[in-house]
């Protein structure tokens, strides 16, 4: 079996894409992109962040390649390891990452989850939207500013690649006095106290040619391990822990520390009003910063991570160890309810119900958009199925993707699945075939089952998205991720009688005042959950231009569920010329999806 899996990676066609050079373009008016501000011989960017110190330019080289892990399972690795190397920088540093693709016959891009990419929307890492994919043997250089502090992470844009191991932590720190809740803790050791939680699969998903929707993880990993991650603390002190759900499937995680309470101080990199509970829940892609005080009897305590949804029944544990305690005794004793008096009365916090650290200003007008999420049952004849990529030579022939013939139901937004364009939408909008585009709200005018769904927004226009998980043909909740912007989550509502909803029902509930909004201090998030037979309402104000994806990464391995939010932007020709050109490149739909 090992030989068979490795053989899948041997045969490949090598492409020589050019690479974007940091020195060849000016992403913004800030000339620190062109000047090396690292004056000392110490090139490390993982350092205490101080005032009145010029930002550094932090260089990383990532080689993405297949390998076998310690457990002899195949995986995709970043520099030979999974999770990949952590990126620790200070606010306003410039992060430069050269990504080399060494996965034969596969294209990749790298997304920097939660980074807003102010001034550099072409570094967001979405294939055929913000860049050309990185083909085998090619190198792509990402360069962007760490423009906001917080807990982030990076991962391959492909759900399969991320699930196979291409992900890692990305932490942006700032001088301690700038932290709104610095008084609540004594230590912030982000390189030691970050819990990056991923999933382990029984086989390499990237190597599967058939549908992978039914393959579920068989384990949860904390920093790459099931039980060996350790958090060391000194009695009497408070510690900031950074929690990251880096699983691409719909796997909510409940995290609990035995006999300790957690105080949540930030979610998705944004500060919130402190809230205390004995457990927290993180949905896929969410991050949460919590404070734990070492106020119990000196000893060792388990940190429990319990999976839900697609990870139902899976667990992982880390250790919270007080200084001087010999933890070897914990390795021979399994934690159970009898060892923790707080388990039976556990209260759990999820981030969408928190309140922002700062109030938001009121607005006079809002552009409201309804996005209905539900499954459909496509029925197509074999003669309808089209096995080609969208061809310029046959512009009027309906494109029915082959995957539709093998699925019993397909999740869609407003009755459509997302179609990746034939040219990078942000960089070459005029090269995108207009007959593949459908505007959000006008999807019925396009007869294709897939289209490039675009929501046009104006700069500084307040946009409200009503995401309604209608639940007529399914009973699942879904997690969405917004690129480029933080969203105000003004309400999360679920039908009290557990009945399906639709646009007319939502409008009736709105008129009757049954759906209330927190317009004073809603949490600001880039990742949020939409409950089954319920809705989540989010607001944002586009302040920078770009083509930003709003996607449900965990919804499907086969057909993407997403829209593009397009905000006017003029990219200088100097920048466009410096970025790799796709030429006549046409990625296979299965790789993009």
pLDDT at 120 over 70: yes
Query: From the centroid of its chain, how far is CA 94?
Result: 21
**Contact predicate 542/487, CB 8 Å:** no
Exposure letters 97-122 (e unless 16+ CB within 10 A, then b)? bbbbbbbbebbbbbbbbbbbbbbbbb
Q: pLDDT tens for residues 454-468?
A: 999 999 999 999 999
Q: Among 3-12, 107-116, 199-208, whose mean pLDDT is lowest?
A: 3-12
| DSSP string covering 521-589 | SPPEESEEEE-TTEEEEEEE---S-EEEEEE-TTS-SSS--EEEEEE-----HHHHHHSPP-TT----H
Please compute the mean of the pLDDT values over residues 414-442 and round it to a whole number.
92
3: Cβ contacts below 8 Å, ≥ 6 apart: none
Q: pLDDT tens for residues 515-548?
A: 999 999 999 999 999 999 999 999 999 998 999 9
| Domains of the chain and any CATH numbers | 2-176 (2.60.40.420), 195-353 (2.60.40.420), 367-592 (2.60.40.420)
CA distance 393 to 375: 32
Please compute the mean of the pLDDT values over residues 158-182 and round it to a whole number.
96
pLDDT at 400 over 90: no
Please compute the mean of the pLDDT values over residues 252-257 and round it to a whole number.
97
Q: pLDDT tens for residues 273-289?
A: 999 999 999 999 999 99
Answer with the residue of higher pLDDT: 331 or 87. 87
pLDDT at 10: 31
Handedness of CA 8, 10, 16, 22 (dihedral sign): positive
pLDDT at 144: 97
Q: pLDDT tens for residues 18-69?
A: 333 333 333 443 333 333 333 333 457 999 999 999 999 999 999 999 998 7
CA distance 530 to 524: 15
Identify the residue whose tokens are 């070492």: 294
pLDDT at 377: 73
**Contact predicate 519/472, CB 8 Å:** no
Q: pLDDT tens for residues 322-345?
A: 998 988 888 777 655 444 444 445
CA distance 474 to 184: 43
**Contact predicate 188/176, CB 8 Å:** yes
Nearest alpha-carbon partner for 160 in 553, 527, 563: 553
pLDDT at 211: 62
Indicate the pLDDT class of residue 370, thresholds 50, 70 and 90. very high
The percent of residues in the chain predicted with pLDDT above 70, rounded, is 82
**Contact predicate 116/540, CB 8 Å:** no
pLDDT at 69: 72
CA distance 536 to 260: 31
Beta bridge partners, 401, equal 386
Q: Among 251-260, 378-387, 438-447, whose mean pLDDT is lowest?
A: 378-387
pLDDT at 249: 92
Indicate the pLDDT class of residue 252, thresholds 50, 70 and 90. very high
Q: pLDDT tens for residues 195-212?
A: 999 999 998 888 775 666
- Alpha-carbon dihedral angle through residues 133, 134, 135, 141, given to the nearest 10 degrees: 150
Q: pLDDT tens for residues 484-519?
A: 999 999 999 999 999 999 999 999 999 999 999 999
Task: Report pTM.
Answer: 0.89
**Contact predicate 534/495, CB 8 Å:** yes
Indicate the pLDDT class of residue 414, thresholds 50, 70 and 90. very high
Please compute the mean of the pLDDT values over residues 556-562 and round it to a whole number.
83
Q: What radius of gyration do the chain's Cα atoms show?
A: 24
Q: pLDDT tens for residues 567-582?
A: 999 888 888 888 887 7
């Amino acid at each position: 079996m090992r030989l068979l899996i490795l053989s899948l990676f041997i045969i490949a066609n090598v492409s020589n894409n050019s690479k974007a050079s940091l020195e060849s373009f000016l992403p913004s008016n800030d000339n620190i992109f062109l000047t090396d501000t690292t004056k000392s011989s110490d090139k490390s960017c993982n350092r205490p962040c101080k005032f009145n110190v010029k930002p550094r330019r932090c260089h990383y080289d990532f080689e993405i390649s297949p390998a076998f892990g310690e457990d002899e399972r195949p995986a995709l690795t970043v520099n030979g390891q999974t999770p990949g190397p952590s990126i620790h920088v200070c606010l306003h540093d410039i992060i430069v990452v050269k990504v080399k693709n060494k996965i034969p016959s596969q294209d990749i891009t790298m997304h920097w989850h939660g980074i807003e990419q102010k001034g550099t929307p072409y570094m967001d890492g979405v294939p055929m939207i913000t860049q050309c994919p990185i083909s085998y043997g090619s190198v792509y250089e990402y360069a962007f500013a760490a423009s906001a502090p917080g807990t982030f992470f990076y991962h391959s844009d492909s759900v399969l690649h991320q699930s196979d191991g291409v992900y890692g932590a990305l932490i942006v720190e700032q001088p301690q006095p700038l932290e709104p809740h610095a008084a609540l803790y004594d230590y912030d050791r982000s390189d030691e106290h970050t819990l990056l939680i991923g999933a382990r699969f029984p086989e390499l998903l990237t190597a599967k040619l058939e549908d992978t929707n039914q393959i579920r993880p068989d384990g949860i990993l904390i920093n790459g391990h099931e039980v060996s991650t350790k958090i060391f603390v000194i009695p009497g002190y408070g510690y900031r822990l950074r929690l990251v759900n880096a699983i691409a499937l719909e796997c909510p995680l409940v995290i609990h520390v035995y006999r300790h309470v957690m105080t949540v101080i930030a979610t998705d990199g944004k500060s919130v009003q402190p809230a205390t509970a004995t457990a927290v829940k993180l949905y896929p892609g969410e991050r949460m910063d919590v404070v734990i005080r070492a106020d119990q009897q000196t000893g060792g305590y388990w940190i429990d991570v319990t999976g839900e949804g697609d990870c139902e029944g899976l667990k992982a544990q880390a250790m919270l160890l007080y200084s001087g305690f010999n933890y070897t005794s914990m390795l021979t004793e399994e934690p159970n309810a009898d060892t923790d008096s707080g388990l039976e009365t556990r209260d759990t916090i999820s981030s969408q119900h928190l309140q922002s650290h700062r109030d938001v200003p009121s607005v006079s007008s809002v552009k409201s958009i309804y996005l209905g999420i539900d499954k459909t049952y496509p029925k197509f004849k074999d003669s309808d199925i089209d096995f080609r990529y969208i061809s310029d030579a046959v512009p009027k022939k309906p494109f029915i993707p082959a995957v539709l013939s093998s699925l019993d139901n397909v999740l869609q937004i407003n009755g459509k699945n997302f179609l990746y364009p034939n040219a990078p939408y942000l960089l070459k909008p005029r090269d995108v075939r207009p007959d593949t585009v459908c505007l959000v709200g006008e999807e019925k005018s396009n007869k294709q089952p897939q289209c490039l769904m675009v929501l046009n927004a104006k700069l500084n226009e307040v946009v409200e998205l009503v995401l309604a998980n209608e639940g007529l043909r399914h009973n699942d909740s879904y997690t969405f991720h917004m690129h480029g912007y933080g969203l105000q989550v003004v309400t999360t509502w679920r039908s009290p009688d557990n009945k399906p909803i639709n646009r007319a029902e939502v409008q009736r509930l709105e008129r009757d005042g049954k759906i209330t909004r927190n317009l004073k201090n809603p949490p600001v998030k880039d990742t949020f959950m939409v409950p089954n037979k319920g809705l989540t309402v989010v607001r944002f104000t586009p302040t920078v231009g770009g083509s930003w994806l709003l996607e449900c990464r965990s919804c499907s391995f086969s057909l993407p569920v997403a829209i593009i939010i397009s905000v006017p932007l003029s990219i200088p020709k100097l920048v466009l010329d410096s970025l790799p050109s796709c030429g006549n490149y046409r990625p296979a739909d299965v790789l993009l999806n």
